[in-house]
Chain A
Amino acid sequence: MAVSADLAAAEATKVRRAAGRISHPVILGAATLTGLLSLLPLGFVVYIATTSGWGTIADLVFRPKVGGLLVNTLTLMALVLPLSAVLAVALAWLVERTDLPFAQLWSWLVIAPLALPAFVHSYAWNAFMPRFHGLGAAVLVSILAYLPFLYLPVAAQLRRLDPALEETAQSMGKRPAVVFFLVVLPQLRLAIMGGALLIGLHLLAEYGLFVLTRFDTFATAIVDQFQSAYSGPSANLLGGVLVLLCLGLLGLETGLRGTERYARVGAGAARRRGRLSLGKWRLLALLLPLIFAALSLAVPVLTLARWLWSGGAVIWRFDFIMPALGQTAMLALAGAILTTLAAVPMAWLSVRAPGRVQKILEASHSYVGALPGVIIALALVTITVQVALPLYQTVATLIFAYVLMFLPRALVGLRTSIAQAPVELERAAASLGRPPIAAIWQTTVRLAAPGAMASAALVALGITTELTGTLMLAPNGTRTLAMRFWSYTSELDFASAAPYALLMIVLSIPLVIMLHMQSDRVEQA
């Protein structure tokens, strides 16, 4: 998901170039509108904070419960992020740079856990080891579920590094291990930080995983509060703290990232590199990917298989499954189309007419992606209840929430594909007498269509496994796959939940394939 976003963003920046000062009022207007709508959740949080009054804030925020959540969240980050970074670098290095047996297979298996929504991972572990919960379980399952977010950019960066750098360092008398720490690792920094940021944001936003591992975070607490008191001030203020944490994490990453530029100096194609021979360590090194695959894939898949087997035919209640599948498909389709359309003006602007206004708009588009679904849901509930009651608990609001949640994902994919369509074609169409919007539509938009389809598919897949926002916003009677799965799991009816888990995994497999292909393309670029 958003890893591809990061990789593609880097690509897009590379291809992007100033296209002169042509103004396109319609496009700019559309982009501004989406930009303003994206700011709704953030505006909601500011509104809550300013209208609640200091007394309420002090009562509801400065209490031991919140302190505990804060400690939990920070401990989780402090353990998951460094461990994931070390593991991802080790795995990526083994797969990309050594003669590890079956490297190609591992490059698939390491990202395959992405096909399982995080809450399916924890469902499997819950069913596999019912007494394994708390911090340990939360850390382990988080690493297993989210490691691909770090692995993908690190592996891509490793492939992209110019082998001449390492060779030169070696010829200057540095041992291979020293070369790794002096030359290779510093250049992985941006990839590691991008991936870690993504995982950090997921840790803040995730609800299902932590409920099942019985580990309290802000997201679980907010949903709990929300379910007991709807849009009560308690949930809203916890939401405010959660937003502060997200912004803090983003700020931290931006600060650490600095203005460094690690791009390859000079043009020209990097030569293919040789692989380091592991020698007698070859089999020992095999243990690392083996253990990771066992924990992240074998455990969930075997657990799921066991429940499917023991459940037999009874659990395949098609009278429930088919409507759930149908509703999920409708929501995913509608959400994907709307999200992609909403992203087009912004994507076009950021490629063709980059500038200050565009930067601000883009930031407002993509900051929403950093806000957890639970915040977006809270905001929309409050706003619909207070301002537009007829929209409260409607499909329209739910789809609007999806658009907000997945806009950044659509934006990045679109931006890359628009950047690949030469601007000269638009100009040629214009010089052949097409009005501006028609010229863009008939050239760039047509050429970007395959990329747009791909990013729409990514959005659809995201909606298919979205749980938190759906739980909070869905109208009565809506039962998506994720919701069905969740209600069975909450009743500890693991067998009945299994078919839904299986369906979600099957539907997510294209995601893994797309991400793998995307990282291959980055290599060729």
Chain B
Amino acid sequence: MLELWGISKSYGDHKGASGVSLFAPSGSRTVIVGPSGSGKTTLLRLIAGFEAPDAGTITLNGRQLEGIPPHRRNIAYVAQEGALFPHMSVGDNVGFGIPRQATDRSRRVEELLEQVGLPAEFRNRRPHELSGGQQQRVALARALAQRPDLMLLDEPFSALDTGLRETMRTMVGDVLRDAGIASILVTHDQAEALAFADHLVVMRDGRVADAGPPQRLYARPADIETARFLGEAIVLASVIHGGVAKTALGDVPVLQDDAERADVLVRPEQITVAAEGNGALGRVLHRSYRGAQWRLEIECRDGGLPEPFSVDVPASLDLRPGDPVRLSVNSEAYVFPR
């Protein structure tokens, strides 16, 4: 269990982190996500010990980390592009953290390579002979070699192609689970965060905006900005009466006491789009073809929605720009706390 209590760190005028408290349960996959400059990398560097916090404490499995230099923390760190040592072979890279005296050194290097899906022959290659994905695999094997208490991953997939990114994510997740190592991954990509995390922390301006299981954060975020950060969000001003919110998109069921003013969150997948029928009247602004669906951009000015929003509809629904549409919300919506 990693615990951060009231961590603050500033660089001159820039606040990297201010009063951050967060918890990463043992064996969990924690993801810290946020836009660039939100302080997520700062947190990672503080945990690794590359920098010291101005205030606050960090403990790992009950051990206070203050004053302990990085090389005595047993926390592995995988940098953005792997940071393989260019002057060493793959085998020497992987074996870097294994004591020189260890008799099973060479066997362990091979095992580790196999674990990350690389053939044992790769041990004689040089880092520059590997592709980006292979470099990341070696970096992971190298980090696993030290049998760390915690694995820190600093945007490890951001340099990879989209397709490869997903494969690598799955592989890393599986390897870490099998090895039983808790991990903290930092990313600015919300899709990656949702896919990897079983504990998600959203950072903004050096603070924790929200933290918890990813499903909860997506469906019931703490505030509007978090909602928008994690996916397309339609926020409707409404009046709530008797478990029903009166919104621009019609009546929407909510679990909330009566209120004169409330902000209701609707995700695009909750919206039913029809060519006719009843429901709020909208207009198609633009459409783009996605194969299985059309992505429509719809405005609903009459209903009082200032911004157009995007929603996917089946490819069979042939709505053209300018066509009127009927909109309704098909499931229970979430009301932001005031």
Q: Spell out A's residues near B (CB within 8 Å).
A: 162, 164-165, 167-176, 179, 182-183, 186-187, 189, 260-268, 274
Contact = CB atoms under 8 A, between A and B. Distances in A.
B106 interface: no
Given A164-B83, A260-B87, A266 B70 contact: no
22 contacts: A165-B85, A167-B50, A168-B78, A168-B83, A168-B139, A170-B50, A171-B48, A171-B70, A171-B71, A172-B71, A172-B142, A172-B146, A186-B87, A187-B87, A261-B126, A263-B128, A264-B86, A265-B82, A265-B128, A266-B82, A268-B80, A268-B81
Contact of B86 (A172, A173, A179, A261): A261
B96 interface: yes
Given A167-B79, A183-B85, A266-B82, A173 B146 contact: yes
A264 B86 CA distance: 7
Closest 9 CB pairs of A and B: A266-B81, A172-B97, A164-B79, A164-B83, A171-B77, A170-B70, A186-B87, A265-B127, A168-B83
Interface in B125-145: 126-128, 132, 135, 139, 142-143, 145
Contacts of B78: 168
B314 to A, nearest CB: 41
B159 A266 contact: yes
Contact of B96 (A169, A264, A265): A169
Given A164-B80, A266-B132, 18 more contacts: A164-B81, A167-B77, A168-B142, A170-B50, A171-B73, A171-B75, A172-B76, A172-B96, A172-B146, A173-B97, A173-B146, A174-B71, A183-B85, A261-B126, A263-B128, A265-B81, A268-B80, A268-B159
A170 B49 CA distance: 10
Given A169-B96, A268-B159, A262 B87 contact: yes
B338 interface: no
Q: Which of B76, B96, B126 counts the most A-chain CB atoms under 10 A from its CB?
A: B96
B146 A265 contact: no
Contacts of B143: 171-172
B135 A266 contact: yes
Given A261-B86, A265-B86, A265-B128, A173 B72 contact: yes
Given A171-B76, A187-B87, A267 B71 contact: no
A265 B50 contact: no
A190 B326 CA distance: 69
B325 interface: no
A83 B70 CA distance: 33
A187 B97 contact: no
A423 B139 CA distance: 37
Nearest to B158: A268
| Residue among B73, B97, B142 having the largest count of chain A Cβ atoms under 10 Å | B97
Contacts of A162: 83
B159 A169 contact: no
- Residue in B78, B85, B96, B143 with the greatest tally of chain A CB atoms within 10 Å: B85
A165 B83 contact: yes
Interface string B60-77: 000000000111111111
A263 to B, nearest CB: 7
Interface of B: 48-51, 69-87, 96-97, 126-128, 132, 135, 139, 142-143, 145-146, 152, 159
Given A265-B128, A267-B81, A167 B86 contact: no
A263 B86 contact: yes
Contacts of A261: 86, 126, 128
Query: Which of A164, A175, A264, A267 counts the most chain B CB atoms within 10 A?
Result: A164
The residue among B77, B142, B145, B159 with the most chain A CB atoms within 10 A of its own CB is B77
A171 B152 CA distance: 10
Contacts of A169: 85, 96
A187 B77 contact: no
A260 B48 CA distance: 31
A503 B159 CA distance: 54
A266 B85 CA distance: 11
A220 to B, nearest CB: 40
B135 to A, nearest CB: 6
Contacts of B81: 164, 265-268
Nearest to A174: B71
Contacts of B132: 266
A262 B86 contact: yes
Contacts of B139: 168
A171 B49 CA distance: 8
A265 B145 CA distance: 21
B139 to A, nearest CB: 8
Contacts of B84: 265
Contacts of B135: 265-266
Nearest to B88: A186
A183 B84 CA distance: 10
A167 to B, nearest CB: 5
B53 to A, nearest CB: 14
B184 to A, nearest CB: 13
A163 to B, nearest CB: 9
Contacts of A174: 71, 96
A257 to B, nearest CB: 13
Contacts of B142: 168, 172
Contacts of B82: 265-266
Given A164-B80, A186-B87, A170 B159 contact: no
Contacts of A183: 85
Nearest to B127: A265
Contact of B159 (A189, A262, A267): A267
Q: Looking at B70, B73, B75, which has the most chain A CB atoms within 10 Å of its CB? A: B70
A367 to B, nearest CB: 28
A261 B127 CA distance: 10
A263 B74 CA distance: 28
